[in-house]
Amino acid sequence: MDKTYKSSAELKREAKALYAGHWGQAIKLNIVPTLFSILAFILIGGLFMALTALFMTSDFVSSGSGSFPSNMSSGNSLTGNIGSFIVGLITLGISFTTLDWLRSKDADFNAFSGAFSVFSKRYFVGAVITELLAGFFTVLWTLLFIIPGLIKSFSYSQAPFIFKDLTDAHPEADINYLDCITKSRELMDGHKFRFFILANYKF
């Protein structure tokens, strides 16, 4: 059988060649999620401490609101989930920009705007929908058992990139987001283990 895809070692060499002489650009592009996570941690931590201080005041305790701690916990959980989703979108934007960089070999781009490329008019709605659909179907499979859910997360992993390529090729076309999920599943058929290896393949 003819070899139709690059090995992990070849992909590693290609990535190193892409970053050669441009490590500063790569670091600037990839540091945004870390900075956002730190900022979110500080804000959530500050909010938690402020609410805790409010709860400990005698006036608040005397009001008899015994449900506050559980509500505070639920609020923190919701805020954390929203923050994680936003970080996921930023990470996807970095992947989009890196993919364009890999294809064009042009490192002359704004790293900050590149990290937020998903939030553009062209990509935002479709990226959010494909991510939500992939997450929804993964959760359904996870309800059966953890392993099928993990495997299906690999199956649906390429849906946002399929959406990106379709949007770039046909900017005015109406994209069927479920088709992106289906095409991702078909694309990953027989390649999920390779994806697992690549996802954990360190430089």
Cα–Cα distance, 199 to 81 (Å, whole number): 23
Query: Residue 61: its pLDDT value, please?
Result: 52
Query: Splitting the chain (203 residues) into consecutive groups of 10 residues, what average pLDDT does each group show?
Result: 67 86 90 81 76 65 52 61 84 94 90 91 95 92 82 93 95 92 94 84 59
Secondary structure E strands in the chain: none
Domain boundaries, the chain: 1-107, 121-203
Query: Residue 81: its pLDDT value, please?
Result: 77
Asked if 195 and 156 touch (Cβ cutoff 8 Å), the reply is: no
Query: Residue 3: its pLDDT value, please?
Result: 53
Long-range pairs of 17-20 with CB within 8 A, sequence gap ≥ 24: 18/101, 18/102, 18/105
Asked if 101 and 18 touch (Cβ cutoff 8 Å), the reply is: yes
Query: Residue 180: its pLDDT value, please?
Result: 96
Cα–Cα distance, 173 to 176 (Å, whole number): 9
Query: Residue 129: its pLDDT value, please?
Result: 96
Query: Residue 155: its pLDDT value, please?
Result: 94
| One-letter amino acid for residue 37 of the chain | S
158-190 core/surface letters (b: 16 or more CB in 10 A; e: else): bbbbbbbebbeeeeeeebebeebbebbbeebee
